[in-house]
DNA sequence: TTCCTTTACTTGAACGATCTAATCATGCCT
DNA sequence: AGGCATGATTAGATCGTTCAAGTAAAGGAA
């Protein structure tokens, strides 16, 4: 460990008081320019760094942002959160914040952990992911006026504009995917989604349906809903592409897991090559999230701008924490980002 | 925000002094049992939680463990670190520690960041990943007597037993993979690795070579080295399986990326089905790391016990931080974990 | 000159915990 | 009874920073 350098050491070397050192660093406009220079030089020479714990005691600010790290459920889509996490750590550092991790089970468990953290480490803010309908966490945090941002829009109506959020426009992503397929000449474009009720899934389905309708195609009967898993996707795709099928020649999927399953189904001998009509034109498949798996198997996929989303979260938090107090009737800010389509061999 | 509860509030309610409250919580054996109960009750009733910043000021301990989160380089193997991270956060919490994240570029950049953190947040320890030969970071930390553990053994000889570490026995993993293939009747088992010099890669290659040799098979000419990438793996596999080839019927790979490339090569029409000898017995492929990609494409792979590794790191740190001071000539502890083989369709 | 402002800086207190040393019973031994 | 460990508790100092209040000097208006 290096010997500790305190503000008093700097003050002594610069020939000023502790408070002047503090001012030179935190409120430069109240010190004479020449004094400021002298202080900065002393800071440099001693390698002084402000002690967060002491500062936190006085100011009540920890300059910590806490976020939950989830176990990667099926393993495929887990990587989305991790890329977001990396972006968050990076952006936070640029704004002078650090990222603190925690784990928890379920909404209730997360609330308990948050309460613990607030008492002990006093993070300045939280970033919540995986928002859903009737999210206990957001209401709990709002009640206690704890600053937070969600990555994922508030899906309940009541919540409306209750807190700042950043999200990716899933509908725009599936719409772009659908347009891409239309441009390639496909007409009967199917959709593999999740059961209705999940905000994210419904949003993505809607982008596909809307785009088909705009092209004069009835999306009716062209979609299937299933839980998220490769096997589930394969089964649903079989159903959609199979004999009694709908003549579907391309599939937009709500996730890379389902898309991968669809890809398996589409390439199973004797089915897919026929479904699309010709052997040199297999069923096209597009996934969502542009996970490593998509890259590895050549799956065209909708890519979320995760670094930008993370930067957006930090920006909103910084405004909340370091900016001027917002007007009482000012609605919380939010940001909706457009994803992009990464085209590979599968479509 | 909830109103703050301090140790003084608890003391008042329990009718004792602040110090007694502190003792009841931190050194229970010096307070009378009855007093302790009274204090704990007051703690419970007020929802008191010790303020880390204040405690840290006095004790110099932050109860923070810092770790670098890397951008997922090729995206496939990135998920390894993330699973480790989750395990680390979980284990740390159980030992009363929290995990702080940071990013940095290169050894030098990481050292700068570590220096920053030490001055500001004063983490009690660091966990270093991706150790390599001539690691600047380990020597820097050792010089300054900053507690740390590495996930990955020290690859340089000099470093020897210079610091505690946890690692996974890569050689044991490839040995298990090779034995699995031998048991399935394969004789000419190839290896796709990285260029010599990386400790991890050499270790994994050695497990394969040793096992083949033990079975009376000369590993000479059965391996190729290339950089880590799906395309690289495909090219190297083509070379090994190709016409002038070595009659290889199975491949052990140093990573899932290379294995995936090998799988592509092995399934490319007209080559692989022949190389192995028969159409109903394609070339077998085994990867390393059991990434989501492996799961998705049915690739048999060597799985690292990441949660255990993380728990091991925390255990070593806890011993270092909370345990008694080790004898000066006591070599730092370490732990070498055995991976397991996850068998899927590819082998 | 006197009084009031403004600028630049300093002093003491406070944040909430723990450490050190002191206090106060209590029991035991001589 | 006096002396002395021993155990349980308390009072005051302290960690490093920033806030709030204060001082000293210079400038301007009356």
Q: What is the pLDDT of residues B194-250, one digit of tens each?
A: 999 888 999 999 999 999 999 999 999 899 999 988 889 999 998 888 776 678 999
Nearest by CB to A82, which of B1, B79, B121? B79
Res A141: pLDDT: 95
B215 touches chain A (CB under 8 A): no
Return all residues near A102 (Cβ < 8 A) that are at least 6 apart: A66, A67, A68, A69, A113, A114, A117, B89, B93, B98
Residue B122 contacts A, CB cutoff 8 Å = yes
Residues near A227 by Cβ (< 8 Å), separated by ≥ 6? A194, A195
For A287, phi then psi, to 5°, come to -100, -170
Residue A127 within any structural domain of the chain: yes
Contact residues, A window 159-198, toward B, CB-based 8 Å cutoff: none
Q: What is the mean pLDDT of chain A?
A: 90
Nearest residue of B to residue A105, measured between CA atoms = B90
pLDDT of residue A268: 67
Question: Which residue segment(s) compose the domain that A21 sits in?
Answer: 7-50
CA/C1' separation B11–D5 (Å): 29
For residue B274, the SS3 value is: helix
pLDDT band at A73 (very low <50, low <70, confident <90, very high): low
Please indicate, yes or no, if residue A46 is contained in any of the structural domains.
yes
Q: Where are the alpha helices (DSSP H) in chain A?
A: 7-14, 18-26, 33-46, 52-59, 78-94, 106-120, 136-143, 170-183, 199-214, 230-241, 256-267, 272-275, 292-297, 306-322
Residue A279 has pLDDT above 60, yes or no: no
Mean pLDDT within A211-227:
94
- What are residue B191's DSSP bridge partners? B223, B252
Q: Do B79 and A292 touch (CB under 8 A)?
A: yes
A332 with A260, same domain: the answer is no
Same domain, B138 and B213: no
pLDDT at A266: 82
Pairing between strand A189-193 and A250-253? parallel
Pair (A132, A245) in one structural domain: no
Determine the pLDDT at residue B75: 56
Strand D neighbors by CB, 7 A: A 4, 6-8, 18-19, 22, 25-26, 48-51, 54-55, 57-59; B 15-20, 23, 30-32, 34-35, 54, 57-58
Provide the shortest C-alpha distance from residue B141 to chain A (in Å). Answer: 9
Non-local (6+) Cβ contacts of B31 within 8 A are B20, B23, B24, B39
Strands B148-151, B223-225: parallel, antiparallel or unpaired by DSSP? unpaired
Residue B59 lies in a domain: no
Distance A21 CA to C28 C1' (A): 59
Between A192 and A291, the more confident residue is A192
Looking at the fold, whether A175 and A158 belong to one and the same domain comes out as no
Closest CA-bearing residue to C1' of C8: A31
B131 & B27 share domain:
no
Give the three-state DSSP class for B295: helix
The CATH number that applies at residue B225 is 3.40.50.2300
Query: On the CB side of A85, how many CA atoms lie within 13 Å of its CA?
Result: 31
Q: Find the mean pLDDT for residues A34-51.
A: 96
Domain co-membership, B163 together with B174 = no
- Residues A185 and A116 grouped into a single domain: no
Distance A104 CA to C18 C1' (A): 31
Residues A296 and A316 in one domain: no
Mutation to test the B interface, candidates A7, A90, A101, most B Cβ within 10 Å: A101
Mean pLDDT of A240-260: 86
B225 and B273, same domain (yes or no) = yes
Number of domains forming the structure of chain B: 3
CA atom of A2 to C1′ atom of C1, Å: 58
Nearest-Cα distance to chain A for B70, in Å, is: 7
Among candidate residues A133, A130, A164, the one with its CA nearest the CA of residue A148: A164
pLDDT tier at A78, thresholds 50, 70, 90? low
Q: Do A83 and B70 touch (CB under 8 A)?
A: no
What's residue A157's pLDDT? Answer: 58
From chain A residues 22-81, the ones with a CB under 8 A of any chain B CB are 47-54, 56-57, 62, 64, 69-72, 74-76, 78-79
Residues within 8 A of A (CB atoms), B 83-102 only: 83, 85-86, 89-90, 93, 98-102
What b/e readout covers B8-31, taking b as 16+ CB neighbours within 10 angstroms? ebbbebbebeeebbbbbbeeeeeb
Angle between helical axes of B7-14 and B18-26 (0-180°, round to 10): 100
Instruction: Compute the distance between CA of residue B238 and CA of residue B259 in angstroms, rounded to an integer.
Output: 12
Whole-angstrom distance, CA of residue B85 vs CA of residue B64: 14
Q: How confident is the model at residue A90 (pLDDT cuts 50, 70, 90)?
A: very high
Is A55 part of a structural domain of the chain?
A: no
> Is A35 a domain residue?
yes
* 3-class secondary structure, B303: strand
CB contact (8 A) between residue A260 and residue B291? no
Nucleotide nearest to B55 in CA–C1' terms? C17
Q: Determine the pLDDT at residue B92.
A: 98
For B91, the enclosing helix (H) or strand (E) is: helix B78-94
CB contacts, 8 Å: B52 with chain A: 53, 120-122
CATH number at residue B40: 1.10.260.40
pLDDT of residue A295: 86
Give the span between the Cα atoms of A291 and B8, in whole angstroms.
52
Q: Give the mean pLDDT of A144-173.
A: 87
**Confidence at residue A276, expressed as pLDDT on a 0 to 100 scale:** 46
Residue A208 belongs to some domain of the structure: yes
Q: Please, which positions of strand D sit below 7 A from a protein CB?
A: 7-12, 14-21
Verify that B321 and B205 share a domain, yes or no: no
Judged by a CB distance cut-off of 8 A, whether residue A1 touches chain B is: yes
> A98 and B93: CB-CB below 8 Å?
no
Which one of A53, A97, A140 makes the best mutation probe of the B interface by having the most chain B beta carbons within 10 Å? A53
Residues A268, A284 contacting (CB under 8 angstroms): no
Q: Which helix (H) or strand (E) holds A97?
A: none
Residue B295 lies in a domain: yes
CA distance B171 to B177: 10
Task: Note whether residue B342 is domain-resident.
Answer: no
Instruction: State the distance between the two ends of chain B, measured CA to CA, in whole angstroms.
Output: 56
- A294 to chain B, any CB pair closer than 8 A? The answer is no
Neighbouring C-alpha atoms within 13 Å toward the C-beta of B142: 15
For A50, nearest residue in chain B (alpha carbons): B120
Same domain, A114 and A155: yes
Q: Does B264 touch chain A (CB under 8 A)?
A: no
Shared-domain flag, residues B327 and B230: no
Given CB atoms, is B218 within the 8 Å cutoff of chain A?
no
Residue stretches of chain B with pLDDT short of 70: 1-2, 72-78, 157-161, 244-245, 268-281, 328
Query: Distance between CA atoms of A294 and A345, rounded to whole angstroms?
Result: 10
Q: Give me the residue from A50, A82, A122 closest to B120, CB to CB.
A: A50
A275 pLDDT tier (thresholds 50, 70, 90): very low
B42: exposed, middle or buried (Cβ count in 10 Å: 0-12, 13-18, 19+): buried
Ranges A220-229, A276-285, B57-66, B226-235: which has the least confidence: A276-285
């Amino acid at each position: 460990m290096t010997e500790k350098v305190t503000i008093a050491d700097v003050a002594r070397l610069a020939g000023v008081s502790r408070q002047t050192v503090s001012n030179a660093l935190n409120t430069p406009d109240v010190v004479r320019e020449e004094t400021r220079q002298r202080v900065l030089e002393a800071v440099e020479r001693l390698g002084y760094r402000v002690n967060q714990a002491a500062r936190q005691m006085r100011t009540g600010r920890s300059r910590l942002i806490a976020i939950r790290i989830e176990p990667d459920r099926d393993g495929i889509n887990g990587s989305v959160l991790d890329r977001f996490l990396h972006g968050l750590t990076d952006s936070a550092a640029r704004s002078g914040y650090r990222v603190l991790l925690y784990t928890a089970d379920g909404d209730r468990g997360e609330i308990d952990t948050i309460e613990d953290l607030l008492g002990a480490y006093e993070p300045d803010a939280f970033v919540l992911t995986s928002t859903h309908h009737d999210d206990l966490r957001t209401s709990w945090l709002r009640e206690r006026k704890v600053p937070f941002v969600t990555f994922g829009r508030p899906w309940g109506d009541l919540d409306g504009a209750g807190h700042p959020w950043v999200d990716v426009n899933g509908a725009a992503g599936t719409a772009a995917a659908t347009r891409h397929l239309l441009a390639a000449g496909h007409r009967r474009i199917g959709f593999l989604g999740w059961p209705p009720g999940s905000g994210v899934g419904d949003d993505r389905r809607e982008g596909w349906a809307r785009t088909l309708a705009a092209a004069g195609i009835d999306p009716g009967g062209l979609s299937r809903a299933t839980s998220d898993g490769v096997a589930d996707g394969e089964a649903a795709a079989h159903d959609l592409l199979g004999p009694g099928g709908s003549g579907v020649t391309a599939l937009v999927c709500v996730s890379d897991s389902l898309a991968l399953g669809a890809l398996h189904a589409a390439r199973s001998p004797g089915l897919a090559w026929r479904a699309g009509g010709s052997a040199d034109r297999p069923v096209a498949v597009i996934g969502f999230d542009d996970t490593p798996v998509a890259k590895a198997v050549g799956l065209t996929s909708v890519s979320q701008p995760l670094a930008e989303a993370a930067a957006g979260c930090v920006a909103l938090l910084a405004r909340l924490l370091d900016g001027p107090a917002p007007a009482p009737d000012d609605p919380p800010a939010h940001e909706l980002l457009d994803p992009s389509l990464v085209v590979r061999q599968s479509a």
